[in-house]
Amino acid sequence: MALKSKHNVEPMFSMSSMTDIIFLLLIFFMLTSSFITPSGLPVNLPTSKASTVELQKVSVTITENLEYYVGDKKVSKAMLEAELRNRLTGKEGAVVLHVDKAVPTEQFVYVAGIATSLEAKVSIATMPE
């Protein structure tokens, strides 16, 4: 006499619920990660008590030797305004200044003046205390 079970168990495992969980975790980590683009140039930033996070559109770096970089591209002081004008067209203007501690104030005021004349928001990057 051949007895058969009415309930057959499938030996296959459904991975659809596992992929849903993986995608949810991926989205969670993408949303909670930092939106700050680190500057790859070695600059000794000043410290500040109040430090806020700003979404960076255009980065301008002034090194201790008074070298100017827009993003990672080295530009001369005379070509700085033209480079900023090219980078700020069609975007919300936001310029983040990465200025070394040893740079005189007039140098980053000069860059901030160019950025405000191009109707861009200007902020100075600092390190928290």
Amino acid at 107: Q
pLDDT of the residue at 110: 92
Q: Residue 39: what are its φ and ψ, rounded to 5°?
A: -80, 130
pTM over 0.75: no
Distance between CA atoms of 109 and 81, rounded to whole angstroms?
13
Which of 27-36, 43-52, 62-71, 115-124 is predicted with the least confidence, judged by mean pLDDT? 43-52
Return the closest-CA partner of residue 67 out of 100, 36, 27, 95. 100
- Average pLDDT value for residue range 98-114: 88
Domains and CATH numbers, the chain: 47-128 (3.30.420)
pLDDT at 75: 92
Report which secondary-structure segment, H or E, holds 116.
helix 105-117
Most confident of 42-51, 81-90, 111-120: 111-120
According to DSSP, the β-strands at 73-75 and 94-99 are: unpaired
Q: What is the pLDDT of residue 49?
A: 66
